[in-house]
Amino acid sequence: MLPDELVKYILSFINVETLKKLELFKKYGKDVLQIRFPDKKRSILQGTYQNIQQLCFTCENPLNNCYILTLCPNCNIYSKEIYNTPLFCIECVPISDELRSKYCKIKGLLLKECNFCEKRIIFYRIDTKMNNFEKIDKK
């Protein structure tokens, strides 16, 4: 058996789509992302690892039909084969109708501070069962 550090290094060269199918990814995935993206914060890499597994960026709840996509350039991870913008479950980024309507008339779109870098970013609710562009004030 190879030492863990060597296994992680070798895994860091494998395509993410292939890597996430391997049992080793569950054990070494966070460390592999750290090798690939050494400039990113550990909390962002942890969230990216969870998103790759279709889990919430912060709480590990499964991402179901309705979740929140954030457009944050500081928290995104991207390379030739991976692009991850943080995805959160509804419980981690509650968006009330009152708060949403302050900023935008499009249902599900909100401008607020990022949970990780505190810059103002766009949070967008994705609902695969509804039309995301339904107007709030539609009667």
Q: Domain extents for the chain?
A: 64-139
Burial profile 43-72: b = 16 or more Cβ within 10 angstroms, e = fewer: ebbbbbbbbbeebbbbeebebeeebbbbeb
**Using CA atoms, how far apart are residues 22 and 32, in angstroms rounded to an integer?**
13
The residue whose two tokens read 């789509």 is: 17
Residue 56, pLDDT > 90, answer yes
Token pair recorded at residue 102: 């302050």
Q: What is the mean pLDDT of the chain?
A: 80
Token pair recorded at residue 103: 């900023």
Residue 131, pLDDT > 70, answer no
Residue 127, pLDDT > 50, answer yes
What integer pLDDT is reported at residue 125 of this predicted model?
Answer: 79
Higher pLDDT pick, 91 / 30: 30
Mean pLDDT of 30-46: 91
**Using CA atoms, how far apart are residues 36 and 11, in angstroms rounded to an integer?**
10
What integer pLDDT is reported at residue 123 of this predicted model?
Answer: 81
* Portion of the chain with pLDDT greater than 70, in percent: 81
Fill in the DSSP letter of residue 81: S
Higher pLDDT pick, 96 / 135: 96
**Using CA atoms, how far apart are residues 96 and 22, in angstroms rounded to an integer?**
39
The pTM assigned to this predicted structure is 0.77
Q: How far is CA 63 from CA 86, 122, 126, in A?
A: 11, 19, 10
Residue 139, pLDDT > 50, answer no
Q: Which amino acid is at 2?
A: L
96 — pLDDT class (breaks 50, 70, 90): low
**Lowest pLDDT segment from 23-27, 85-89, 117-121:** 117-121
Fill in the DSSP letter of residue 34: H
